[in-house]
């Protein structure tokens, strides 16, 4: 009987050591799991608030005036997706990383949005042109002024991310998530400006800063690909826009973007 008890004791100890080692191995495997990288490509449609645009030139052709409450529009060119280069429309791309817990992450984004002042609108102008003081309503004709960030108002942002599952299929292969992304960054426009018949298509230039937030729905139909769509609201402050010759411009506006993209993710 004593020998049987000893055998039973040894068996229990050996079994418990096996279980413990298996659990420890599982814990180590879990601790080695890392996050998820992803890349997204897509397009955007934009709406802009009115803005006061200030122009100043201290050179041989001096002026210092402000156009008040100017309206602008974008140029999405979605109707040209299949007969021109895919980069012609207003595109977006993102690089992101979700941390180990899967809910928090960080994302770098680039939004190529086109800002175009609407021609022939009537706005108030104040300031001076050629030492003549002005304070009146005027029409923004092409002979007077054209102002565009047409090769991009170009929002570059770094955002924090938080996501949560909204719906999951029974087999776990189809997931719908909600994603929120607050962030900030810089604006790097290429501005095309004409003032009183003189045109200048400027180089890319860091012109100011931007803050905003994005709220998206993200659908994952499998292990790697996903589709994401939602809205992004930003405030962009262009404090140093290149204009004509030595002239500079500045303005700020709110923008609302509708974004849709397709992405690819890699779990580490």
The C-alpha atoms of residue 86 and residue 15 are separated, in whole angstroms, by 62
Q: What's phi and psi for 7, nearest 5 deg?
A: -60, -40
Strand partners, 55: 65, 249
Task: Read off the tokens for 81.
Answer: 């997706």
pLDDT in tens, the chain (268 residues): 444 444 443 343 334 333 333 333 333 333 445 789 999 999 999 999 999 999 999 878 899 999 999 999 999 877 666 566 666 789 999 999 999 888 999 999 999 999 999 999 999 999 999 989 999 999 999 999 999 999 999 999 999 999 999 999 988 889 999 999 999 999 999 999 999 999 999 999 999 999 999 999 999 998 899 999 999 999 999 999 999 999 999 999 999 999 999 999 998 8
CB atoms within 10 A of CB 34: 12
CA 53 to chain centre: 23
The C-alpha atoms of residue 111 and residue 46 are separated, in whole angstroms, by 10
Nearest to 145 by CA among 245, 244, 46: 244
User: pTM value?
Assistant: 0.84
DSSP assignment of 45-84, as one string? EEEE--EEEEEEE-SSS-EEEEEEEE-EE----GGGTTTS
| Cα distances (Å, whole numbers) of residue 200 to 70, 118, 145, 147 | 20, 18, 12, 10
Report whether 251 contacts 54 (CB < 8 A): yes
């Amino acid at each position: 009987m004593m020998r049987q008890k000893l055998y039973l004791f040894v068996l229990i100890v050996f079994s418990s050591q096996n279980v413990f080692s298996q659990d420890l191995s599982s814990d180590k495997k879990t601790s080695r799991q890392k996050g998820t990288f992803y890349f997204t490509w897509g397009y955007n449609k934009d709406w802009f608030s009115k803005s006061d645009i200030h122009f100043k030139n201290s050179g041989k052709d001096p002026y210092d005036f402000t156009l008040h409450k100017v309206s602008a529009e974008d140029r999405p060119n979605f109707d040209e997706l299949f007969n021109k280069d895919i980069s012609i429309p207003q595109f977006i791309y993102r690089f992101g990383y979700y941390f180990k817990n899967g809910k928090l992450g960080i994302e770098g984004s680039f939004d190529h949005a086109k800002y175009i002042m609407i021609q022939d609108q009537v706005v108030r102008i104040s300031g001076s042109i050629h030492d003549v003081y002005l304070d009146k309503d005027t029409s923004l004709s092409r002979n007077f002024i054209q102002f565009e960030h047409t090769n991009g108002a170009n929002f570059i942002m770094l955002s924090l991310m938080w996501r949560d599952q909204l719906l999951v299929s029974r087999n776990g292969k189809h997931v719908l998530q909600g994603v929120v992304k607050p962030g900030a960054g810089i604006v790097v426009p290429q501005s095309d400006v004409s003032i009183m018949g003189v045109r200048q298509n400027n180089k890319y230039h860091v012109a100011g800063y931007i803050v905003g937030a994005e709220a998206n729905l993200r659908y994952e139909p499998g292990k790697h690909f996903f589709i994401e769509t939602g809205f992004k609201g930003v405030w962009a402050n262009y404090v140093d826009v290149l204009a004509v010759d030595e002239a500079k411009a500045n303005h700020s506006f709110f923008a609302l973007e509708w974004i849709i993209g397709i992405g690819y993710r890699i779990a580490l």
